[in-house]
């Protein structure tokens, strides 16, 4: 059987593909895993009821620090803003709260542990509200 005009280009195309030399990458690609992600800096602000005493507040702040270390992070700065009037009432534990103790932390944490830490704060019955955001610098120093 004779070759037709359409069969010749297909054979030539196969030869061109086979003729290209295979190249290998010059740099090794390191897969991103949970263990080799750089730590990031986050702001954590939470509100506590004003019914707590000073000793209860310090105990709870220590519990939050332990919670951060449980998630392989560390608290780099703690600012206790004190008792402040809230912009609006929030119902917490069956009572309407108009004031709260504000606590602001700067935390260094693996990005993979940020969501579990925020979930644990959300599930804590002592916290009225919390805000957990990535700082502008992103990288921990």
CA distance 137 to 38: 13
Q: List pLDDT tens digits, range 96-116.
A: 999 999 999 999 999 999 999
Extract long-range pairs of 21-28: CB within 8 Å, 24+ residues apart.
Answer: none
- Residue of higher predicted confidence among 97 and 26: 97
Write the pLDDT tens digit of every residue in 34-63. Answer: 556 788 999 999 999 999 999 999 999 999
- pLDDT at residue number 140: 53
Q: What is the CATH number of domain 39-136?
A: 3.30.70.60
CB-CB contact of 78 with 5 (8 Å): no
Instruction: Give residue-wise pLDDT tens across range 111-139.
Output: 999 999 999 999 999 999 999 999 987 55
Hey, where are the domains in the chain?
39-136
């Amino acid at each position: 059987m004779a070759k037709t005009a359409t069969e010749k280009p297909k054979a030539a195309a196969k030869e061109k593909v086979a003729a290209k030399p295979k190249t290998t990458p010059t740099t090794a690609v390191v897969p991103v895993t949970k263990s080799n992600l750089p730590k990031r800096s986050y702001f954590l602000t939470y509100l506590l009821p004003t019914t707590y005493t000073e000793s209860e507040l310090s105990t709870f702040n220590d519990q939050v620090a332990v919670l951060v270390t449980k998630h392989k992070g560390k608290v780099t700065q703690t600012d206790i803003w004190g008792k402040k009037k809230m912009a609006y009432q929030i119902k917490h534990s069956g009572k309407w709260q108009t004031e709260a103790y504000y606590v602001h932390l700067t935390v260094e944490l693996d990005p993979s542990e940020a969501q579990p830490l925020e979930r644990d704060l959300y599930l804590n019955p002592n916290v009225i509200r919390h805000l957990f955001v990535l700082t502008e610098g992103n990288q921990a120093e």
